[in-house]
Amino acid sequence: MLMVSVFAATAALLTGAGAPAHAAPSPVAACAPRAAAPANTVHTTTVEGVTRTYRVHLPAGYTGRTPMPLILAFPGHTESPTMFERYTGLSALPAVVVYPDGLRGTDGTLSWQGAPYSSPQADDIAFTAAILREVRATSCVDRTRTYAVGRSNGGGLVSMLACRMPGQFAAYAIVNGAFYDQSLRGCSASKAPASIIDFHGTADATIHYGGGTRLGGHYAPIFDIVRSWAARNGCIPTPLEVPVNSAVTQFLWPLCRSVGSEISHYRIAGGAHVWPGSSVHRGRTGVSDSISATTLIWQFFNRHPLTVGGRSR
């Protein structure tokens, strides 16, 4: 792999400096002056005969006049959306953030489609499509700046969204992703390009960096998955290797056939199954407090709005 020793060459990519200007926010029917709305509202929808719930968080300064970025945030296996919101800090971003609820799986805990313990009733692709339809109809959000974030099992679902819902999201972020075999089916043939930022620790004892089995299901090695995303985008096969600090290395595929798409993977030496930089997780064994996943994700999202034709740039 190519070691890049000149940090100036990648500084713009790491910090967001020099990112392309956004396209003008796309107007939607839901954008109109209105009375102040509650910051948090809970909604229900029916998918395949199953009642599903999600919470919509409106950021400070939301007026309903100017389209804002939209982020769908999927917690990890067993986690509640409230817990996910607390340790990620996503609700502090200047974006409308939606926190969907998973379904109780075969082990009795909350989970998402694509895992060995998922509920047989889970159709989280259809659930996500329903959320997008409903939120776009009721909130002032920018269709060119719609993003998905997930951790662990939720990260596996986000990978499925990148494969199965092309053109609906501008970019994706995955932390501690669990890529079970069943979540990958059908994706190898997908030609849909996707900009994805990914974080994983080499000491993750829940989802091992080198792959393994968990709760009756096999999951793939992390770097193999990241390389498959780069191949799907038509990126150069050998990534740039950028030392961020003594514990963190960024692997970056910036040159791709799909112009503007980008794959970025942060490998955290000794990193555990936690959200990097979270104040809630700070001090735990293996966490790297020297980077903030939330900050890097937001910078990445700002570099990748959708362009005409539904492709990330």
Region at 83 (left for phi over 0; alpha for psi -120 to 50; beta for the rest)? alpha
Query: Coil, strand, or helix at residue 111?
Result: strand
Q: What are 136's two structure tokens?
A: 């776009």
CA distance 139 to 142: 9
**What sections of 44-98 are H helices per DSSP?**
81-88
CATH of the domain at 220: 3.40.50.1820
How far lies 79's CA from each of 73, 148, 207, 213, 286, in Å?
12, 17, 16, 20, 20
- Digit-by-digit pLDDT tens for the chain (313 residues) are 444 433 333 434 443 444 444 444 554 557 976 666 779 999 999 999 999 999 999 999 899 999 999 999 999 999 999 999 999 999 999 999 999 999 999 999 999 999 999 999 889 999 999 999 999 999 999 999 999 999 999 999 999 999 999 899 999 999 999 999 988 887 765 667 899 999 999 999 999 999 999 998 999 999 999 999 999 999 989 999 999 999 999 999 988 888 789 999 999 999 999 999 997 876 665 667 789 999 999 999 999 998 755 455 5
Residue 149: name the closest of 133, 161, 138 by CA.
161
CA distance 288 to 111: 26
How many structural domains does the chain have?
1
CA distance 188 to 171: 19
Residue 86, domain extent: 2-312
